Structure 1
């Protein structure tokens, strides 16, 4: 964060510095943070009051605090810390004036953001998927006076949300990756999802660039909603790819193409869907003049991310695809495709452990049934569906329907063989990440039954 005194922060946020007048000159030089257990030296602790805890109660010892009531630490008191955080971030972006890259989509946001951050050396980028009304301003406050490029992942929780986020950091380059069914229960329809996602490119000026998925009709229909020039990525896009091959861990290699030129890329992340994510990131970087060869080389250096189709091998050789960060129908389809591809090169079975998908509303039962149908199409050998709402998946796939991760773990311990490859796919709320850890720790001592086959 650029250095600011508490007096400057109060003036920016419409707040008041509590305590003796000397506190107004306390200078914040570190970033803003929300967790008092992980303080940032010289940083600003944002104290939020939740249903079960109050950050103000944990402010003792903080260098400085932004909150809604006084604390024992030097504090800027404001009516609403979330609004104040956004105002502060907007002011910092206005002062530093980095080039802002923003991207959104129903799925693939975080992977694309990682590729884009690598394609733009020195850029400040969203950590993890901190893409909401707290994560976006916290990322903005991570810039320094010398930051020239800022990469922001932006998620939409409702119509109007992206419009508000873009007032914090108006983008120079903005991309809509796709419109899918994730969170359809919250929005009500994919039409409203598309309306919300398109707000991102509506925020662009005529001197900006809109980067759209040329293979998604719902995304391409957004083009008239921006005054900025449009560039595309995809099979039919201006930035495209050809000659894709996959290694034994499902990691793609391909040629990245732009304006009649081609450059080789070999990704370190599993899943053919990563090719499209990489192409989207490339399109955004190429739009500001980065060289194709440089972008291709940087994309090839982005390593895997924990719990996102992360291949992990147990001591006895069992391969586990840990994809326990989130789950929605499009992401499950990509994961099943990766599982099928990897399974081709192994002598054992393919096993899909699928947690219940959330925020699907009235579409939940049919979406889970469709996932079961996809598992049959991909010829997955065994399917284990977990949770009350996952029953249609198990029934459609002819698999096991189990109530919780503990029951699934017991089933897996009894049925897996070292030659198998097992996908564990689910949202963090389902605790399937803990199932993965327990599965990797358990190495059976029993020999494989004679005649066991795929």
Structure 2
């Protein structure tokens, strides 16, 4: 049988893959059966993680900083892996190899070819690109859930939003796919432009221009320039959906050649296609708001997820869903049902260890000044079950990376903000990296410095602790929670802080 690739359900033989990548198909020495192009083939998954390479899959061998995917080829054929995309031939490999100059670039070309095949199929298909300094993944999760009521949706797991993650997601698109919801992130100018060349969006949603990756970009203006590339990369006649409350996002409107939809909460903004107003929150910081969409009666939305900052993310998702044909009541019902989003993003749960029990807000996926403040706001306003005393609020915070020359100042501001909010305790989590650890200590300085502990007959205005790593931070938290039943704990920091692993250990 001819060996072939199916990305989603868009079939391609291995020979077709090689042709579209200008690559060379090298069969296994013992078999010369990869020449045909017309035989039927099985569904195939495209993967770049050797642990996920299974029967019928196409493995993309990528050279990383620490690991080279080419090293894992021997034995893959025996496991049923169909073929591997490589930048050099691996001797001893027991499966066909497609030789290309650059496997990451080839992965993008293969994804682009798959999207072109889907568009050529003729049935309705819409690519929705999402970018912004904060909120991309939450908005993606909410929007994908809403659009699933209208048709088959492909969306990334977690934050697959770079030159590897986006193509892997696009290669899940098949003949039955109605929507591709694609995150597009950037660490430098030109990156989103490149992603839109791989997967040009029909609709570009821009959430916010903040200071994430400020060190890489050099200025907020450069960040805005990078985010605007998603609007410039729209297909001819494509639609831009813009946050009218952010002046830098609103200024992108002239770049959209196919029209603009505006969403926001600012009552002074007269021309809005979607508005959220009358925002309230319950004792668990789950917000509700009035959703007003163009030419429709307002409806009340009660979000299933926590965090007042998620009102804007929900409003963005609602704007797109309504444009795609979903009625406001169905949107409100959908937003109310979604109480779980991607891991480590404002995930609320109960933790019980041998020493203590407490409520955990796990927002440990990553951190920048905007998202850090949003998480701290949620921690400070949480009241818990009615009739119970106010919880003892503990912020467990790690380093924020890629903030440039203002890094120390921005960390000091976070520490000061914890004190301003009147939190009960701040546990600042150190890092092995000296420069990152210095930023954590700047956060401690901003909070007023480490305190000696709880005073007799009461507590200090805010207890401040430096922990050398996540494990020590966990011990400090459990000790505090044991002395303060009903404690509420927020985990927030970059991946380097190890807080995601701490959350998984607590909840495992």
SS at match of 2:173: coil
1:92 aligned to 2:114?
A: yes
Distance 1:120 1:402 in 2: 43
How many angstroms does 1:40 deviate by?
Answer: 4.5
Which residue in the other structure is 1:397 paired with? 447
Distance 1:255 1:392 in 2: 40
Deviations 1:135-188 (A, max 9, x none): 111111101112121110000121111111111111111011000011101111
Which residue in the other structure is 2:156 paired with? 126
**Selected match of 1:30 from 44, 48, 54:** 44
Distance 1:269 1:93 in 2: 32
- Structure 1 residues 102 and 314, CA, compared in 2 at 3 Å: closer, same or farther? same
Select between 206-215 and 327-336 the one with higher mean Cα deviation: 206-215
How many angstroms does 1:277 deviate by?
Answer: 0.3
Which residue in the other structure is 1:63 paired with? 82
SS at match of 2:329: helix
1:75-90 paired onto structure 2 within 5 Å: 75-90=97-112
**Selected match of 2:471 from 368, 386, 406:** 406
- Structure 1 residues 396 and 435, CA, compared in 2 at 3 Å: closer, same or farther? same
Residues 249 and 311, structure 1, Cα contact 8 Å, conserved in 2: no
Distance 2:302 2:499 in 1: 30
- The gaps in structure 2 that reach 5 residues or longer are 1-6, 120-124, 267-271, 431-436, 449-463
Which residue in the other structure is 1:431 paired with? 498
**Selected match of 1:10 from 18, 39, 53:** 18
Deviations 1:74-93 (A, max 9, x none): 12111111111111111110
Residues 238 and 256, structure 2, Cα contact 8 Å, conserved in 1: no
Deviations 1:316-372 (A, max 9, x none): 651111111111111111101100111476433111111011111211101101111
Which residue in the other structure is 1:138 paired with? 168
How many angstroms does 1:407 deviate by?
Answer: 2.5
Select between 128-137 and 231-240 the one with higher mean Cα deviation: 231-240
1:59-208 paired onto structure 2 within 5 Å: 59=73, 60-61=76-77, 62-70=81-89, 71-97=93-119, 98-121=125-148, 122-208=152-238
1:420 aligned to 2:457?
A: no
**Selected match of 2:300 from 249, 264, 281:** 264
- Structure 1 residues 312 and 414, CA, compared in 2 at 3 Å: closer, same or farther? same
Q: If the length of structure 1 is used for normalisation, what is the TM-score?
A: 0.92
How many angstroms does 1:131 deviate by?
Answer: 0.3
Residues 130 and 204, structure 2, Cα contact 8 Å, conserved in 1: yes
Distance 2:135 2:112 in 1: 26
Deviations 1:193-226 (A, max 9, x none): 0000001001224522100111001111111222
Residues 343 and 350, structure 1, Cα contact 8 Å, conserved in 2: no
Residues 398 and 429, structure 2, Cα contact 8 Å, conserved in 1: yes
1:294-313 paired onto structure 2 within 5 Å: 294-305=330-341, 306-313=343-350
Distance 1:253 1:344 in 2: 16
Which residue in the other structure is 2:64 paired with? 50
Select between 233-242 and 331-340 the one with higher mean Cα deviation: 233-242
1:239 aligned to 2:274?
A: yes
Select between 249-258 and 6-15 the one with higher mean Cα deviation: 249-258
Select between 232-241 and 142-151 the one with higher mean Cα deviation: 232-241
Which residue in the other structure is 1:353 paired with? 396
Q: Aligned pairs, how many?
A: 441
Distance 1:344 1:141 in 2: 43
How many angstroms does 1:288 deviate by?
Answer: 2.7
Q: If the length of structure 2 is used for normalisation, what is the TM-score?
A: 0.83
Which residue in the other structure is 2:358 paired with? 318
- The gaps in structure 1 that reach 5 residues or longer are 442-454
